[in-house]
Amino acid sequence: MWISACAALASAVAPVMAQPPAAQVGLRYDWEKSYAQTNPECRRFMYGVSIRNQPFPTAMAKILDPVGLRYRIESGAVVLYRK
């Protein structure tokens, strides 16, 4: 599935940027599990990430790769992990 829009954020942390694409493809985002496994990396700010008109895996890679994170889909939810 392609990401047709993204939040208009000049900067954000990975979890905030990952939630809209997950919702667009019908997935939840597991905040608690993701935070428990990725703190403090998940608190690093990112700037100027463009994910418009990208397939979901590409959009997630653009969001997560710069901060050394990856994702899995577990029980209908996106969960972040360290690489």
- Model's pTM, two decimal places? 0.80
Highest mean pLDDT among 17-21, 27-31, 43-47, 48-52: 27-31
Q: For residue 7, what are the CA distances in angstroms to 36, 37, 82? A: 24, 24, 24
How far is Cα 30 from Cα 5, in angstroms, rounded to an integer? 21
Confidence check: pLDDT of 5 > 50: no
Q: If we measure between CA atoms, which residue out of 27, 4, 29, 25 comes closest to residue 17?
A: 29
Total count of domains within the chain: 1
Question: Which domain, by its residues, includes 22?
Answer: 2-82
pLDDT in tens, 40-78: 887 777 777 778 788 889 988 988 898 899 999 999 999
Q: Which two tokens stand for residue 52?
A: 């418009």
Q: For residue 72, what are the CA distances in angstroms to 10, 11, 26, 41, 69?
A: 26, 23, 14, 16, 11
Q: Which residues on adjacent β-strands are paired with residue 71?
A: 80
User: Cα-Cα-Cα-Cα dihedral of 2, 38, 47, 77, to 10°?
Assistant: 20
